[in-house]
Amino acid sequence: MKEIEVWEYVIKWGLAQNPTLISDPRTWSDDDFKTMKNTLQQCLPLIRFFSLTSGIITQKIRPYRKLLDQQLYENLIDSYMDPDSNPIENILLPRKNIKFDIDSKIVNLNIISTVSRWIDEVDVNYEFSHFRELYFPYEFKLLLRGSRNGFTPKKFHDFCDGKPYTVTFIKVRGTEEIIGGYNPLIWESSRVWGETEDSFIFSFKNRDAVISSVKNPNYAIDYSTICGPQFGYDLTICSTDKLVNYSKIFCKQHFYEKKIRDTEDEFLIEDYEVFQLI
């Protein structure tokens, strides 16, 4: 079921428990809203309001806004109207009720949906992207997995050079953190930089998501033969030689808008995957 269908059935059930209430909430008094809110008190916290579209919120939720906690409702509206607003605590992630397969040992469907939203720029406020209804406009075709194909720059370029529209996911060893980036250009092995205004890097840690768009498009993508999927100097993943496993991996803000990790220390990779969007 879609989330709006869940909401409509909850309202229908609430009305059945209160047969004296008229179905049109525009006719309800404050006491009527209190009665319905008390009836639905165990149901309302389970509704994924933030996964609904702005149009559905206007048409289907706003007439019942007095049933919702005021702070929750204001944050819900701000999530669509104010690009600088931040999520309140305890927002539920969207239900995984869509059939979509991805060959990944690193990411879940929620992360795939969020990155797809960022690519298509469908959200005004990126801070709320991973709370929206799941969004799968692309097939994610696996090109490389480190644990399967190797962790050297050569293996990366063997499998990924010449491929445009790729997303890289890197699992940081010993943490729940996933970092990566989107590159709309083809990967290649050269001494030049890939220039684009459309790349971005990101991180996911627990329920927090960070996106950082490129601010200096002349240095968006590093094509060096001793590097893997490197984005500027902001997401560095390189080695001393193209045949040697990656030895320098860290994040430091240079050519992208903001840093995606709290620390600039080097870290180890548990695994990494590169997908092409089709």
DSSP 54-122: HHHIIIIIGGGGGGS-HHHHHHHHHHHH-TT--PPTTPPPPP--S------SS--HHHHHHHHHHHHT-
pLDDT at 229: 98
pLDDT at 242: 97
Q: Is 2 exposed, middle or buried (0-12, 13-18, 19+ CB in 10 A)?
A: middle
Model confidence pLDDT, tens digit, residues 81-111: 887 788 887 888 887 766 678 999 999 988 9
pLDDT at 89: 79
pLDDT at 131: 84
pLDDT at 98: 63
Please identify every stretch of the chain with a pLDDT value under 50, giving residue numbers as ranges: none
pLDDT at 126: 72
pLDDT at 245: 98
Stated pTM of the model: 0.78
